[in-house]
Amino acid sequence: MGLRADGLATRSQDSLLPSSLLLTSDFWIRNNSYAHLMKAFLPCLTLLLVVPVQAASVISVGDGDTITVTEGANRIKVRLACIDAPETSQSPYGMASREALQKLLPIGADVTVRSKATDRYGRTVGEVLLGTTNINQQQVASGNAFVYWHYISGCDRQSYSRLENDARLRSLGVWSTPGGMQRPWDYRHKGKGVGSNLSVVSASSTGKYRCKDIRSWDQSQLLLKQGHSYLDRDGDSEACESLK
């Protein structure tokens, strides 16, 4: 407040501004450190918004890198991101990897899925957390899976590299043979256990396989992983149980 030449009171320019604006500007001036804190914290908030997180419950374990969970009324098949476990037909490590994952994720375990993508088979691809434990990383650390370097994007590359290197130096699981066992991606590419060695009669109209025409349970699991989900009639991530 001031005085004009004629003695009448005048109001300062600041007093003409809305009180809410004055309060806001004054707050940020007096709390500049808070502004810096929010600026530093903003990337974390952005990450939380970008990475979808799902709370779910485990109902089955298909192999060393595939599980099925329920989220509310939805049944979701989850492919563990950034790792590749031996196929169940890759004896003995395929079944050992599955058993290791079953111990980490017993039926009914409450987990969090950090979804990263959906693969061509319709599966959710993501990192699975049991509390604060990263299950994907645990499979690598115990020698029950390889890091899937071709699809490492979106995961902590340094952590996965460190865990795999440690498992290799300790000759754990898949690293118990020099250089490690045949990589599962090579195994699938060469079609071992499937194709010319698999006696299958396919319906010409649909191209579907039938359990009774598949030679072994291991071969049916390979077909299931390749996307032939109809072989898993009860949705427990296991195909053609009758072949066991």
Q: Catalytic amino acids?
A: 79, 87, 123
Q: How many residues in total does the chain contain? A: 244
Beta bridge partners of 129: 112, 134
Residue 146 β-bridge partners:
84
Closest CA to 212 of 194, 193, 239: 239
- Closest of 104, 105, 125, 108 to residue 116, by C-alpha: 125
Burial of 127 (0-12, 13-18, 19+ CB in 10 A): buried
On whether the CB atoms of residues 62 and 118 are closer than 8 A, the answer is no
Round to whole Å and give the CA distance between 236 and 77: 9
CA distance 236 to 206: 23
Instruction: Give the three-state DSSP class for 194.
Output: coil
**236 DSSP assignment:** S
Instruction: Name which of 94, 82, 86 is nearest 119 in CA terms.
Output: 82
% helix, strand, coil for the chain, step of 5: 40, 20, 40
